[in-house]
Structure 1
Amino acid sequence: MDTDAPPWTTTHSEILVEDRWIRLRADRLRTAAGAEIAPWYVLDYPDWCAVVALTEDGRLVLVRQWRHGAQSWSLELPGGVMDAEDADPIAAARRELLEETGYGGGEWRYLYAGHANPAIQTNRLHIVLATGLRPVAPPAPEPGETIQVELLEVAEMLKGLPQGLIGQSMHVGGILVGLAAAGRISLGECA
C-alpha cells in the first residue's frame, strides 16, 4: 500500500452551507479501482485549541457548559475556536482560558495537535499545557455562552473518567497527555 498517495480522487466538490462557523461541502470521489463514492460530506472548521490548566495548588481548571448538539451539560477543558488574530495555539489557549475562566499567569507549553474527526472534518484540536495558574480577572464568556468554572483535584478527575465525567471525548486524551507532561501521572511506555 502506498501511504504517500491518496487512494481517492476528488472529481467534483460543491459547497452546501457556508457561514462564519462552518463550511459543509459534498465531494464526489473516485477510488483507485474506479468506484464512485458520492456524496462524501466534509466539514471545514477552523482549528480549535484546548488547555490543560493546572492552578498553583495543582487543581485542574475545567468548564461546564451547555452543549446543544448533545442536549446536555458537559464538563470540559477550557478552549475554543482559534481566531485569525491568534499568533499561535498558545496565544489562542491563553485568550480562551482568560475569557472562559479568568485564570492566567503561569507557564505555558504546546503539546500536540490531533484531528477532531479525520473522516469528515478538516480541523485539528491543539492541546496546550498551562501550570501555576491563578485567577487574574473575572471570566468574560462570549454572549450566549453559559459557563461554570470548576476546579477539580487530579485524583477526583481521574476517578471520574471511566464514568464519563469529562463530556468531550477528545479532551480525555488531552488531559492524560497534559497530566503526563506536567509530571502528575505516568503513561508508562508512552511517556
Structure 2
Amino acid sequence: MSAGAQDAGGTPADVVAPRPVVAHERVAAGRIFDLVRDVVDLGGGEQVTREYLDHPGAVAVVALDDDGRVLLLRQYRHPVRAELWEVPAGLLDVEGEPAQAAAARELHEEADLAADRWDVLVDFATSPGATNEALRVFLARGLRPVPEAERHTRTEEEAGIEARWVALEDAVALVLSGALHNPSAVVGVLAAHAARAGGWASLRSADAPWPYRRGTLPA
C-alpha cells in the first residue's frame, strides 16, 4: 500500500492525489455532461490516455420522518429502461450553490417537502473509473409539507413521480434482496441504517468539507 493511502493511524482513507495532465480535450459535448480525454503522466516516464464523463456532481436526500420511514420516489430512467425507486436527488448545476441548498431544492421540487434539520450522511464517487461525478447524500429530518401555493410544477419524467414511505429497516431489506438498484437509494438507505444503529454519531455537519466535488479538485 502506498504511503498516501492511509492516515497516521494506519486506517485506509482516500486522498486527493492528482497526476499531471499533459493534454486535455473535449471529445463530445452533452446537455448535462461532456465526454473528455486526458493524457495523464503517471510518473516514471509512463503516460496513459483516459476518457471519462465530466459531470457537475449531484446531491441526494434520505428524508426520514418521525416514524422512522424513508421517502422513496418511483421515476423512469431511460438508460436502464426501468422505473426505479429512488430518494430525492438532483444535479449540482447552479454555479456556486452550496450542496445543502441544492439538496433542499430537490426535496422541495420532487417531494413537496422542507426539512428543519440537515446532516451529511455519506459521500461517494458514482463510477470513478468512468466519470468524475461526486455525490453527497444528506439526511433530512424535521420534515414538513411545502404549502400548496409554493409547490413546484414537475415536468418530463418527474411528472410521473410516485411517492411511498417505507420503514427504514424494510428499505434495507429491499436493497439487500435486489429490489432497489438506484445507487443514491442503495448507499443512502444502508448509510442511514448504520448511522441510526450508531446513535447518529457518524453524521457530519451540512457544510462539512467535500474535497471531491468538481471545482474543488485540483485540475
Q: State the TM-score, normalized to the length of structure 1.
A: 0.82
1:46 shift after superposition: 0.9
Any residues of structure 2 matched to 1:35-50 within 5 Å, and which?
Answer: 35-38=46-49, 40-50=50-60
Any residues of structure 2 matched to 1:61-72 within 5 Å, and which?
Answer: 61-72=71-82
Aligned length: 186
Is it true that 1:28 corresponds to 2:44 in the alignment? no
Structure 2 portions without partners, runs of 5+: 5-14, 204-219
Whose strand fraction is larger, Structure 1's or Structure 2's? 1
1:49 shift after superposition: 0.4
Residue 144 of structure 2 aligns to a residue whose secondary structure is strand
2 CA distance for matches of 1:142 and 1:27?
A: 37
CA RMSD of aligned residues (A): 2.7
Structure 1 portions without partners, runs of 5+: none
Any residues of structure 2 matched to 1:164-183 within 5 Å, and which?
Answer: 164-181=178-195, 183=196
User: Which one of the candidate residues 148, 151, 161 is aligned to 1:147?
Assistant: 161
Which residue of structure 1 lines up, in the alignment, with residue 84 of structure 2?
74
2 CA distance for matches of 1:77 and 1:141?
A: 18
2 CA distance for matches of 1:165 and 1:117?
A: 21
User: Which one of the candidate residues 111, 114, 128 is aligned to 1:101?
Assistant: 111
Identity of aligned residues (%): 29
2 CA distance for matches of 1:160 and 1:99?
A: 25
Which residue of structure 2 lines up, in the alignment, with residue 14 of structure 1?
25
**Paired residues of 1:104 and 1:136 also in contact (CA < 8 A):** yes
Indicate how the Cα distance of structure 1 residues 137 and 148 shifts in structure 2: closer, same or farther if over 3 A, else same: farther
**Paired residues of 1:157 and 1:165 also in contact (CA < 8 A):** no
* Cα shift readout 1:68-123 (whole Å, capped 9, x = no counterpart): 11110111111110232674221111110111111223322123422222222222
